[in-house]
Every structure is written in structure tokens, then in C-alpha cells.
Amino acid sequence: MTWQVLNPYDQECIGSVDLVEWPLIDRWLDEARALHEDRRAWIPVHERIAILQRAGALMRERAETLAMQIAREGGKPLVDARAETSRAIQSVELCVHELFASGGRQIPMDLTEAGAGRRAYTFREPIGPVVAISAFNHPLNLIAHQVGPAVATGCPVLVKPAKDTPLSCKSFVEILYEAGLDEHWCRFVPCTNDVAEQMVTDPRTAFFSFIGSARVGWMLRSRLAPGTRVALEHGGAAPVIVDEGVSHENVIPSLLKGGFYHSGQVCVSVQRVFVPRAELPDFAAELAAGAEALRVGDPTEEETQCGPLIRPAEVDRVEAWVAAAVENGARLAAGGKRIGPTLYHPTVLVDPPRDAKVSREEVFGPVVCVYGYDSIDAAIAQANELPYSFQAAVFTERLQIADRCVERLSGSTVLVNDHTAFRVDWMPFAGRRHSGLGTGGVGYTMADMSPEKMVITKR
């Protein structure tokens, strides 16, 4: 069996990968467990550093090829695909940096009489075989975030890419091999969903890293073998509060980037914007004008700002959600139409019903909803009413409003005067509630994959 990889823009086949069946995965899991249990087989830290350094250098040499591959298989505009490639290289380099900075710590023992006469310290050990399942929207950098830390910490890793975007994952794994990593330590595992579930829930899996939908992530977590550790990264419906009197010139460009980057196919994409009711007509008109001006088309062209959705079925879904919102009272300020089978125009909806899907569920498409509010507290309450909690934002020139939003907005991160889709790869990145479990970011993932062991000596 094979996966045919289609260019999401023109639906032309650009490649294929052979699927891996369970008997081979079963053997690979046995190999991974054996590698972890045989300490003589562990790759010395200095060799892991050298492998990652060589991998980063190879990625730099092939940066334009990798970026074009991201654009062709994932539909991300080339300018953004180049930025993703640069971030993936930095993610690999961050793994090396974290290894230089990592280590154990001393634990004071004589804080009470019971501990007197003892010394204690910790050091880190690899947790064991890692199974990673990734998403389509950042097909190179997400893989770097999941596989790079496993290699760095000395964990054997099996990685299943998204069905739509396996080529970038395959390229990354092959670069690791070329850089000197023995293939037994990292396996490229495109497979069907039922085989993936068998791999994830196998008791030989020590750590499960998942990036994708909440429905799938929480289902798999419920079926993990006892003892398997897990990190889940899902999505949300990111809220942004705009305070009264803030210059729209400082807000609109940021929201256009945060809402329509990769056509909204980002887990922290700007989706719900709350604006003082008196300012709503002008604000919505300015945001709509910016959305209408965005260039939509072939992601491999330099001028393109918004590319296709990953599959035609996603265009159908977004079209249906927008149509339902308009039918039930939302005002369509921009967009609201498909451009052929694979593109959907950047869309701005004004005051859609609070029970509409565009208001309550993650759109994962080029749709930004704008709501009028009568008080900051009412805006915060509406922003917090969904079961998601990831990144939120506020635009304000008043310190007290910034402080109030930071304290009261539900989110693992609250950005002040910036959009919700901002991220750098060394910062903690975490969904709360339905939005995920655990903390992403290269250093945080490495810590999860290398738990501390403590030594206590009695004098």
C-alpha cells in the first residue's frame, strides 16, 4: 500500500510513500526497546551533538529545496515555507544548545534533621522508545520538534507523519541518517490509523508525542498502556481583545497576519476578535479591506500570501460553516466565497451568533470573526466561555487593562500588543483544557524525554 501525495493547490500527484505494516513496526519496537535497555548501545552525548550539528548543516545547504517541498505538499506560501525551514534548522540547533545547558542539580538534604548526613543530586536519563504522530500544517518544523529532542536525549523514535505531508518528514529522517544516525534509532513510519493506534498503545512505547486534533489525541491518550507518558498539542479558537482607543494602524496588520497565515491552518490562529461596540463598524471595515487585499493562489509563487486548504473537503466544510453563520445573522464583511475547489477567500464575519460553529469550534481555515463588546469584563467572559485554552491576546495602551487581561484570560500564554499565532521554538508552548496536555518547545520536550533520576548518599 502507498500514500499518494497531492499538491493541495492543483491536486497533482507530487510523490508517494510506501506504508509500513504492523509486523515490521512490531520488530522496530522490539529493536527500540532493546536499544534502550542495553546501555552499551546508547549513543554518547558528544556523538549525538555531532549528528545534530551535521544535520543542521545539511538542512542549511538544502533550505530552498526543503521550503519548496513544504509549499508543494502542504500548500504553505513559499515565503512562509522558507520561514518554517529556517525555524526547523534552528530547532535542531536548539537541541544541541539544550544538551550543552542540560544536567542535573543538587538537592539539599539537611533542611531537616531527618535528612542530615546525606547528599543528593540528579541526572537525566532517556525515557525509552518514543512514538511521535505529527500534523500537516508545519510538516518540517513539527517533525524537528518531536524527533530532534528524541535524538538529542538518546531515545529511539518512531515517527508517523501526517498522511497529506509525509515528504518533509521523510527528508528530515534521511538527513539524520546522512548525518550519521543509525537508522535503528529513528524510523519513518507512514501507516494506516489502525496500525498507528496499535503502535501508540503498545506497552513498549515509553513516550507518546501527538500533534493534531483534540478528538484523536484524547482518544489515543485514553488507550495508552499503563506507564506511557504523553504530550498532546491540539488547537483552539484563539481570542483577541482590542481595547478602546487603540490605533487601528497598530492592530489590523498584526491580525491579518495572525488570522490568515497559512490560510488560518494554525492551532493558535486568530479566530475571535472582540472590539468596543462603538468602534466595530470602522474596525470591521478596515480588517475586511485588508483581507480583500491579500493575494490568494499558488503557494509556490513569490507573491502569494494565502494558499489552498489542505484538502478540497476542508474548503467544503469552511464554506458550510460560513454560510450557516451568515444565514443565522452574521454580517459578511469580506470573502465568504471559494475560489475553485482548493482555495477559500480570506473571510471576515461580524457578530456571528455565539452558538455558530465559527464561534464555538476551531475553524482551521481563513475566517476571522469580529464581535462588539460593551465592557472589557464582558469580552473576557465571552473569550473564556469555550473549552479551549491556548494562546490569547490583548491590544491596549493602558497598563491596567493589559494586567486585567493577563490575569483573567484563559490561556497558557497571553500576548500583549501582538497576535496569537506568534511563537519562537525555545518558548513553552502548551494547550490547556481541551487544547492539550504537557508543554511543547524544544527544551521542554527534551526534559519530558529525559526524566531526572536522583542519587542519595549517606555519609
The residues annotated with a catalytic role in the active site are 233, 267
Integer Cα distance of 162 and 133 in angstroms = 7
Cα→Cα distances 229→99, 196, 220, 317, Å: 21, 17, 12, 34
Cα maximum dimension of the chain: 77
User: What radius of gyration, in Å, describes the C-alpha atoms of the chain?
Assistant: 23
Integer Cα distance of 186 and 180 in angstroms = 11
In the Cβ-directed half-sphere of 265, how many Cα atoms lie within 13 Å? 24
Contact indicator for 283, 256 with CB cutoff of 8 Å: no
Neighbours of 1 (CB within 10 A): 9
In the Cβ-directed half-sphere of 262, how many Cα atoms lie within 13 Å? 26
In the Cβ-directed half-sphere of 311, how many Cα atoms lie within 13 Å? 9
Instruction: Give residue 98's identity as a one-letter amino acid code.
Output: E
Chain centre distance of CA 192? 22
Integer Cα distance of 422 and 415 in angstroms = 9
Q: Which three cell numbers stand for residue 438?
A: 504537557
Cα→Cα distances 149→17, 82, 118, 160, Å: 25, 22, 33, 16
Integer Cα distance of 55 and 152 in angstroms = 12
In the Cβ-directed half-sphere of 416, how many Cα atoms lie within 13 Å? 12
Given the DSSP bridges, would you call strands 238-242 and 270-276 parallel, antiparallel or unpaired?
parallel
The size of the chain, in residues, is 459
Integer Cα distance of 298 and 222 in angstroms = 40
Integer Cα distance of 377 and 254 in angstroms = 23
Contact indicator for 79, 427 with CB cutoff of 8 Å: no
Q: Which three cell numbers stand for residue 113?
A: 534533621
State the angle between helix axes of 442-449 and 141-153 in degrees (0 to 180), rounded to the nearest 10: 40
Which of 274, 253, 303, 289 has the alpha carbon at shortest distance from 370? 274
Q: Which three cell numbers stand for residue 152?
A: 538529542
